[in-house]
Structure 1
Amino acid sequence: MLSFVQRFSKLPSLKPLSLKRNLIDFSLDRLVRGVDNIHIDVHISPQVQNAVKRVVSLLMIKHSETENYFKDYKRENLKNEINALRNLCNDVLLDGLNRAKSASEVQIDYLGQASLVKLFLQEIMNQYEIFLTNFKGLIRSYELSLDHDSYESFKIKEKLNDLKYNQKRTILHAGDELFRILADISSKNLRTLRESNFHSDHVLPDDIFLNPILYTDNMVDDLFLIEAYVLIGQRSEDPDNYPNVKTMIYHLLEQTDLHDGNADVVDPVDDDEPGVKSSERRLLEGRNTFDGLLTEVENIDLMFNFFDSEDKYERLKRNKEPRAVLDGIKSQMNIQESMLDHFYRRFDESPVMKRIVAAYEIKGIYGKYCPPLRLHQLREFLLDPSTREPIARQLKSRKEDSLDLLYKAISEIRGCSTKKRKQHLLQFLKDFSRYHRDLRNYQLLRGIMDAISLIKEDRKLMLSKENRSLYEFLLPSERVMGEKPIVNHVIMKADIRGSVDITYTMIERGLNPASYFSLNFFDPISEILFDYGGAKEFIEGDAIIMSIFEYEDTPQGWYSVARACGLAVRMLQIVQQYNVTSQKHKLPILELGIGICFHQSPPSFLFDGDSRIIISPAINLADRLSSCSKMLRKQLKDENRLFNLFVFQDIPDEEFRATADDLSLRYNVNGIELSQEGFAKLSREISLKSVAYPMNGKEKVTLYTGTVPTMSGGSQRLVIREAEVLRVNPKTIDVIEITSRKYYEVCAQPEIYEFIKDHIS
């Protein structure tokens, strides 16, 4: 034993104890937000969802002790269902782990675990309400039965009252058994695999799931605390309330060599954060430099458990272990005894110690007196003589309640030896450490779960999946090999020039403009889309918007820009052929303007009923590229040109650079403009050869040519003209200078293709 001088000398160093710091922290900040741009969309295996419902419903019957009321309930059924759920959860978490490994993103693994936690919690609350409703149904059925017995009916109703009173206990024990499944999977099945793929610091500890605070609606409820941890004070004036005890522990630890002199690190809880009651807020606010030590429950034994070390020392001594081993244990014993004595003196000097002793005395007797008493009344009876008479009268009104156990507990508290009090303090520190750890983990997990949206509706699943924002955790049998995700896309817009005038003229002549546009433009275009991998997205009156997608892991189809160019040329050729027929019959001819825009990411989608609507920034740019200035069209309409696209800048550079929109002035009549990003992608898709085309014997135009494979197995030659954007006077359109910007026209004139044919080998 320590001498009197040793007891009051400087505390020993704790560094030889190799204390751990539990500083787990994880987030989902690198994962894609879902369709609401707030939450992360998750879809969990339907088989897992159904299995969780079955297990939780059976656990409610088991832990409410109502097996005799439900004829179909059998313990072996619960055991089988738990084993089935364990296997399903293991497979789903393994699926998430493999996807996390494939993407080199551990947060996907975190997401899978947190999503199961959220699913479990939802079903605990849902199934308890269903269980209670079913039990009430039993009462109604019994009352309506022919062999109705009033006494039995009374007993069933009494059981219902008992169920309501013990709701927290039922949920606590059911939740504990359910979450132990998740903890077992993590520790026994997947821990080694996780540690082999990710750093051990990134593997969540098992105790994060074994957290009773997760499945209670009141983390400061006395009954909850005494069942799951230890009874502590809740009022601000209580000396043993959570903040006071934590402050005492931290101040005492500051007197050791663990204190690094750092200021407290405060992590306040947002006042607007939902689900946090004012009585709970003070529990969650404030993280101290010792938090990492206090949340590691094993540290309590390492620092204070002199009793276990003493037993271990005597056992090793009897076994004649080497002196070095015995000296090591004895050194640890001295540290632990000194620390326990130091803490005990401080706690014993305060009113806290007697409350700790009372808390453990209450554990064995509260079931007999609560109800009608509340737990804090019971503790007051044991500690405060002035409260005993009114409480005794309250109990004596219930003749079956004896006060013997209460007075025996008072006697135990008064006669509690110093050794026993120290053992109570040691147990209290461990229970308090678990509570502190679980509070911290609860706050962390709650924030994570609030960020998750468990999607179950088919429409939302489809919307999220189409937008590549859905994280799925499925069984192998549920993962259908469907269409691969979109990685890139092209948007094309073909705009009919002068459609308003054409419509007016035809109506004036008694003709049908709708059928004219359909037969001469929309229908022929639809027939050739497949050969280029294109799809019609929607029609805007006199314009059609089309798309070509590139899919993950399908490099054989990564020709979206080249095929869009080939499709655009073919469209112009078809329209020209129909124009020949129209001219013979004195019908209007069609002129187009086409814009092609590439976007190096998947588009988004929304749904109007069953109709999928594409959302893409490329749509706006394609609209700009296909446009034509009315002023330029009027000025240049009678000129016979080899090229059909000209782009000008008629605003100052500052104004042009100030917006992401394309404010260029365009002449685009039977022209096809390809965006700069599109040309860069085209040069990666196919081999392009540069050719100089002479204009009037002086100016030379830069052309690029190559061939694109079509979906049907053929090929098509493409010619792209590169030209500089000219700065012009906005009023006169006179050229001021040549800018450094370039634009690209997909050529469609036969003369150009004849030239290319003659000049390339």
Structure 2
Amino acid sequence: MFSRIRQTLLKPDLEALKPHLYPPVVFEPLSFSRLPKGIDNIHYDAAISPDFRRVVVRLVRIWLQNALYPETGKTQRKLEVDQLETLHKTYLHLSENAVHLARRQRGIQVLQLFQIGITKFLLQTTREEAQSFRQELQDQASKSRGENVEKHEKLVVLAKEEPLYLYGIRRKLFSHLHKLEQTKLRRVRHSLLGSYWPVPQRLIINPMLVLPSLHLDEAVMNDYHLLLTDREGLNGFNELNRLVTHLFNEYLPGEILSPLGDEKGPSQENTIEVRNRLDQGTLSGFLEAELFLREVLQEEEYQDGIDSWLDIPDNMSILFPPDDSFECPVARTRQTSVKWRGYLVWLAEAARLRLKKAGLLERVSAHQEAVRLYRVFNGRLPVRIIYHFLAGLRDKKQLQRYLLSQNLGSLSTDEVARQLQLARRKVQRRSNAELQRDISDCLLSFARFRCDLKNAYRAYVVMDQIRILKDKSDIELSKANNSLHVFYRDSEGSGEQQSTDIVNHVIIKADLRGSTHITEQLVKQGLNPATHFSLNFFDPINKLLDAFGAEKVFVEGDAVILSIFEYGDKSNEWVCVSRACCLARKMIEVMDNQNSKNKSNGLPTLEMGIGIAFSNGPPAFLYDGDHRIMISPAINRASQLSNCSAVLRNSPMGKITGDRGLRVVTASEDLMDKIADDRLLRYNVNGVELDLPAFLKMQKELSLYKGNDREEKNTRYFMGQVADKLGALHTLVVRDGPVRVWQDNSIGGEDRRGRRFFEVVSEAEKIQEAKRLLDSATSRPQPPSSPSEASGEAG
């Protein structure tokens, strides 16, 4: 009763407590939403510098070798020093490149992706190399003869010590990189981006991340109290969390309070649900972190990023000082100081009583002595065994039986037992001052563990969004789809991904007609159709591709699809549509030449319809083995433009137009629903049609002369010159005409919606006619213009 009265008198309200404590740091979840998703449409793809990968692997191998064969340490020291120097230089280079890339892109997400991605890469690589090292040793042991016994002995040691070796390697590796992060790189980031830590420091510099397992006591003890991972009859972390949150229940948000009662964590079904749900890859720590948190904390706290002053470990040192000073850090008056001191005295006593009631006092005091004895015994005894004996959880007989079953090396069983007994009595006879120090240290460690565990979980959640690509085909596929985030040194390739990626592309679709009929005639005459088409059609077209920067997308007997790309680092060559138009006209010329030969040889002639469609962005790619498959909406659009409608071909207009011409018309709703996706009919025989985006792009590429057709109303010609990749100039003429109405089996007036189509003029006489027309026109060359001149499009 008196304790409650005292508590009521001394206990400050929340507003009075706040000035004494460090405020929580607001957690802002990391997001890569502005970056493109990877090829699986789930993760963000990243490729890490081959140089950096190599030096990390070499260092891991050196440290594994030194751990398993300590006698080789001195001989490998120089090699280790050289590799560490390379590690520092390479990491500095990669980090600075990522900072500059973030500055150029005016966004820090790419830098955040780099920092989190590097962390994931290191965690994955260290584990993979440890497993690979063990497998190699097993292979050697199975093959060797004279050294077979020694190899097997080393395998036994490795099987036992591998997790601890892995922990030591990670700790050294991250320590070297974190020193760079906290010194030079911190200043570079602030200088160029105005932020020291775009990724919160506590997210990547976290001892929890380097732990191979939260159950690896010999690693956990270096940073956290052994009670926190103790499962002997209870959940130590849960017990401490309940004690602290109930002690401060009036000062904490509801989402942070532990539930009252005797909940022991999730059921087996819940644990299975967690295991099945996580897409954890090789990040085993992800699963452990969530299981630990889910047993103790409410999901809202660790999943939604809810933080409080409890997540600042230094606040535990303020509330539970290790000595009797009980100073008030912000005392204004003597009265405030006295009241604060009284409150802290009450807190210390309340914590001691609650720990005693829970049977945890000896476990709290046993940690320091257990760690000391583990090191005295050179790791011959597991620290958990030592800890449990000192905490009174094992009796003398149990200890004696255990010691007799262990290989203690040069240690005497009696001497080990004697030292353990002395340490146990020391734990049992702690003075009040020593007990207060033990409780202070334990609660400070609890706050660190709690905070680090939440931040490790948050880091794993972000890491789980990133996929580190190593397979060459995956890297090429992701790069081809413009979804790869490349973090290379300058000597390995551009660190700025966009600089060499495709930014635009144009598709040229040639619909070849009559090839089947010609093939039949050639076979009848005993001739080889394959060589005929190769020599007279495909080979001449293939020779044109390099000059115009074109690539083959798809080739069959009755169709050819080509593409021309524009790249980010070659803006001076952004004339893909103009070159596509000239290439299409050259393809018509190739076909005309073949038709001349066909006529002289008594063979049928070919006809072709070409469509050109532009896409303001990169295409997507799939791979079938080594074969690359392009996916682009421009392919379908170009196919529409290259089409020739049977309705128009069989009409009187088709007979009048003959073997060359391009007409685009619109018709009744019923007819359009049956025939064309863009609700237009095309008569494209040896013609070349552009879509509106391609025409607008061409206007931006070239300075064009413009003139009106004197004979055909509302029809204009545009003429300019473009150089191919070899430097040769080509004259380009494009006709801009109105879409007309198809009615009563004939062409009528203009489409009332004002739609237009755009044709690349391919006949030499028409090009000369356009030149004369434009020469006589009063208009001057038009500069690369905005899209406003084109009021409509075919479809």
Q: TM-score, normalised on structure 2?
A: 0.80
User: Is 1:67 aligned with 2:77?
Assistant: no
Q: Is the 8 A contact 1:302 1:336 kept in 2?
A: no
Cα distance in structure 2, aligned partners of 1:308 and 1:570: 93
186-195 vs 361-370, which moves further: 361-370
Q: Is the 8 A contact 1:566 1:708 kept in 2?
A: no
1:468-490 Cα deviation digits (max 9, x unpaired): 33222222322279993221111
Equivalent residue in structure 1 for 2:369, among 352, 361, 370? 361
1:188-241 Cα deviation digits (max 9, x unpaired): 111122123335385234444443433444323444433441112657785553
Q: Is the 8 A contact 1:549 1:560 kept in 2?
A: yes
Could you tell me which residue of structure 2 aligns to residue 543 of structure 1? Answer: 559
Equivalent residue in structure 2 for 1:108, among 104, 107, 110? 110
User: Is 1:178 aligned with 2:173?
Assistant: yes
Equivalent residue in structure 1 for 2:277, among 272, 297, 311? 272
Could you tell me which residue of structure 1 aligns to residue 581 of structure 2? Answer: 565
Q: Is the 8 A contact 2:707 2:716 kept in 1?
A: yes
Q: Label 1:678 to 1:58 Cα distance change in 2 as closer, same or farther (>3 A).
A: same
* Unmatched tracts of structure 1, length 5 or more: 314-324
Could you tell me which residue of structure 2 aligns to residue 322 of structure 1? Answer: none
Equivalent residue in structure 1 for 2:17, among 13, 17, 21? 13
Cα distance in structure 1, aligned partners of 2:223 and 2:138: 29
Q: Is the 8 A contact 1:531 1:710 kept in 2?
A: no
Which AA in structure 1 matches 2:41? N
- Three-state SS of the structure 2 residue aligned to 1:487 is strand
Shift of 1:92: 1.6
Shift of 1:388: 4.8
Q: Label 1:425 to 1:653 Cα distance change in 2 as closer, same or farther (>3 A).
A: farther
Equivalent residue in structure 1 for 2:424, among 410, 416, 436? 410
Could you tell me which residue of structure 2 aligns to residue 420 of structure 1? Answer: 434
Equivalent residue in structure 2 for 1:683, among 693, 696, 699? 699
Q: Is the 8 A contact 2:509 2:559 kept in 1?
A: yes
Q: Is the 8 A contact 1:191 1:203 kept in 2?
A: no
Cα distance in structure 2, aligned partners of 1:601 and 1:17: 53
Q: Label 1:143 to 1:678 Cα distance change in 2 as closer, same or farther (>3 A).
A: closer
**What are the residue-to-residue correspondences of 1:314-353 with 2, within 5 Å?**
335=340, 338-339=343-344, 341-342=346-347, 344-349=349-354, 350-351=357-358, 352-353=360-361
Cα distance in structure 2, aligned partners of 1:44 and 1:311: 51
Q: Label 1:75 to 1:326 Cα distance change in 2 as closer, same or farther (>3 A).
A: farther
- Three-state SS of the structure 1 residue aligned to 2:165 is helix
Cα distance in structure 1, aligned partners of 2:287 and 2:463: 21
Q: Label 1:491 to 1:277 Cα distance change in 2 as closer, same or farther (>3 A).
A: closer
Could you tell me which residue of structure 1 aligns to residue 451 of structure 2? Answer: 437
- Three-state SS of the structure 1 residue aligned to 2:551 is strand
Q: Is the 8 A contact 2:705 2:720 kept in 1?
A: no
Cα distance in structure 1, aligned partners of 2:671 and 2:248: 66
Could you tell me which residue of structure 1 aligns to residue 244 of structure 2? Answer: 249
Q: Is the 8 A contact 2:37 2:43 kept in 1?
A: yes
Which AA in structure 2 matches 1:705? F
1:251-309 Cα deviation digits (max 9, x unpaired): 333333xx46678799x968510447987544233253863534433333344436497
Q: Is the 8 A contact 1:594 1:625 kept in 2?
A: yes
Cα distance in structure 2, aligned partners of 1:106 and 1:202: 10
Query: How many residues get paired?
Result: 731
Could you tell me which residue of structure 2 aligns to residue 639 of structure 1? Answer: 656
Cα distance in structure 2, aligned partners of 1:530 and 1:157: 61
1:681-715 Cα deviation digits (max 9, x unpaired): 222223455544355xxx61322312031222424
Could you tell me which residue of structure 2 aligns to residue 719 of structure 1? Answer: 734
513-522 vs 268-277, which moves further: 268-277
Q: Is the 8 A contact 2:689 2:760 kept in 1?
A: yes
Could you tell me which residue of structure 1 aligns to residue 466 of structure 2? Answer: 452
129-138 vs 343-352, which moves further: 129-138
**What are the residue-to-residue correspondences of 1:587-736 with 2, within 5 Å?**
587-607=603-623, 611-635=627-651, 636-640=653-657, 643-649=661-667, 651=669, 662=678, 664-688=680-704, 691-695=707-711, 700-711=713-724, 712-724=727-739, 726=741
Q: Is the 8 A contact 2:319 2:347 kept in 1?
A: no
Cα distance in structure 2, aligned partners of 1:142 and 1:308: 64
Shift of 1:503: 2.6
Shift of 1:577: 4.5
72-81 vs 592-601, which moves further: 72-81
Q: Label 1:439 to 1:271 Cα distance change in 2 as closer, same or farther (>3 A).
A: farther
Q: Is the 8 A contact 2:477 2:621 kept in 1?
A: yes
Q: Label 1:138 to 1:299 Cα distance change in 2 as closer, same or farther (>3 A).
A: farther
Shift of 1:110: 1.9
User: Is 1:28 aligned with 2:24?
Assistant: no
Cα distance in structure 2, aligned partners of 1:279 and 1:530: 56
Cα distance in structure 1, aligned partners of 2:568 and 2:105: 14
Equivalent residue in structure 1 for 2:53, among 43, 49, 59? 49
Which AA in structure 1 matches 2:654? K
Cα distance in structure 2, aligned partners of 1:205 and 1:330: 39
Q: Label 1:760 to 1:262 Cα distance change in 2 as closer, same or farther (>3 A).
A: same
- Three-state SS of the structure 2 residue aligned to 1:492 is strand
Q: Label 1:466 to 1:346 Cα distance change in 2 as closer, same or farther (>3 A).
A: same
Shift of 1:491: 0.6
- Three-state SS of the structure 2 residue aligned to 1:25 is coil
User: Is 1:120 aligned with 2:135?
Assistant: no
- Three-state SS of the structure 2 residue aligned to 1:190 is helix
Shift of 1:89: 1.3
1:312-348 Cα deviation digits (max 9, x unpaired): 99xxxxxxxxxxx997999789747734741551353
Shift of 1:424: 1.4
Could you tell me which residue of structure 1 aligns to residue 89 of structure 2? Answer: 87
Equivalent residue in structure 2 for 1:400, among 409, 413, 436? 413
Q: Label 1:24 to 1:252 Cα distance change in 2 as closer, same or farther (>3 A).
A: farther
1:364-384 Cα deviation digits (max 9, x unpaired): 234678999766655554445
Q: Is the 8 A contact 2:290 2:457 kept in 1?
A: no
Shift of 1:183: 0.8
- Three-state SS of the structure 1 residue aligned to 2:714 is strand
Equivalent residue in structure 1 for 2:292, among 283, 296, 301? 283
Shift of 1:674: 0.8
User: Is 1:476 aligned with 2:497?
Assistant: no
Could you tell me which residue of structure 2 aligns to residue 316 of structure 1? Answer: none
Which AA in structure 1 matches 2:19? K
Could you tell me which residue of structure 1 aligns to residue 783 of structure 2? Answer: none
Cα distance in structure 1, aligned partners of 2:750 and 2:722: 39
Could you tell me which residue of structure 1 aligns to residue 772 of structure 2? Answer: 757
Cα distance in structure 1, aligned partners of 2:310 and 2:59: 34
**What are the residue-to-residue correspondences of 1:734-749 with 2, within 5 Å?**
738=751, 740=753, 741-749=755-763
Cα distance in structure 1, aligned partners of 2:73 and 2:7: 66
Equivalent residue in structure 1 for 2:163, among 151, 156, 168? 168
Q: Is the 8 A contact 1:240 1:355 kept in 2?
A: no
1:480-522 Cα deviation digits (max 9, x unpaired): 7999322111110112223323333443444444344334432
Q: Is the 8 A contact 2:522 2:529 kept in 1?
A: yes
Q: Is the 8 A contact 1:169 1:224 kept in 2?
A: yes
Could you tell me which residue of structure 1 aligns to residue 786 of structure 2? Answer: none
Q: Label 1:554 to 1:165 Cα distance change in 2 as closer, same or farther (>3 A).
A: closer
Which AA in structure 2 matches 1:477? S
Shift of 1:559: 1.6
Q: TM-score, normalised on structure 1?
A: 0.83
Which AA in structure 2 matches 1:120? L
Identity of aligned residues (%): 28
Q: Is the 8 A contact 1:7 1:341 kept in 2?
A: no
Q: Label 1:96 to 1:278 Cα distance change in 2 as closer, same or farther (>3 A).
A: closer
Shift of 1:753: 4.6
